């Protein structure tokens, strides 16, 4: 085979591989959405950890998740991170059981959910971030175990919760 023939064959192979790769991505668009949602959840978790570092390692004590997002917005400067790309809808929620709690009082930060999606993906899984800052996609079985941390009874260190609709007037609706 001459040089031109080899070049044409190589070009055809590369073209076919590109078509196969593109069709594989079309077959599972949720993979990129899950990855982007995971990244956003991680960014929300990091923003919460930055907030804690400024407030003696105490998590915010909001009366709802939206007040929490307004409290940590100065640490993220990006409202898009608070939106999930889950095709079933839903949103990120703060684990209200952790509101006003010192990070030192959380015995298993690597297993305690800090941020999670309110609705499951079509495959039953959810994205969440632990108190230690690690984020992952949980299968339905894994989520059943982690969801128990949404009902923890921990000592609150903060003196009082943030006012209802805190900063809503200044920052708008979330």
**What pLDDT, on the 0 to 100 scale, is given for residue 167?**
65
The larger pLDDT score, comparing residue 44 to residue 174, is at: 44
Strand order in the sheet with 92-94: 92-94, 113-117, 126-130, 135-138
Domain ranges of the chain: 27-168
If you search the block for the tokens 């085979």, which residue do you land on? 1
Q: Is 88 helix (H, G, I), strand (E, B) or coil?
A: coil
Is the backbone of residue 21 left (phi > 0), alpha (psi -120 to 50) or beta? Answer: alpha
pLDDT in tens, 120-149: 999 999 999 999 999 999 999 999 999 999
Q: pTM for the whole thing?
A: 0.79
């Amino acid at each position: 085979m001459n040089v031109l023939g080899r070049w044409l064959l190589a070009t055809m192979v590369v073209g076919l591989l590109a078509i196969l790769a593109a069709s594989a991505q079309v077959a599972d668009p949720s993979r990129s959405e899950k990855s982007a949602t995971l990244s956003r959840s991680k960014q929300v978790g990091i923003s919460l950890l930055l907030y804690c570092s400024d407030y003696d390692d105490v998590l915010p004590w909001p009366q709802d998740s939206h007040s929490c997002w307004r409290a940590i917005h100065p640490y993220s400067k990006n409202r898009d991170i608070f939106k999930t790309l889950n095709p079933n809808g839903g949103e990120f929620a703060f684990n209200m059981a952790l509101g006003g709690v010192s990070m030192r009082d959380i015995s298993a930060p690597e297993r305690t959910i800090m941020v999670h999606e309110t609705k499951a993906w079509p495959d039953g899984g959810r994205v969440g971030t632990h108190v230690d800052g690690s984020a992952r996609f949980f299968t339905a079985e894994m989520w059943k175990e982690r969801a128990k941390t949404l009902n923890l009874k921990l000592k609150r260190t903060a003196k009082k919760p943030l006012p209802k609709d805190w900063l809503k007037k200044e920052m708008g609706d979330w």
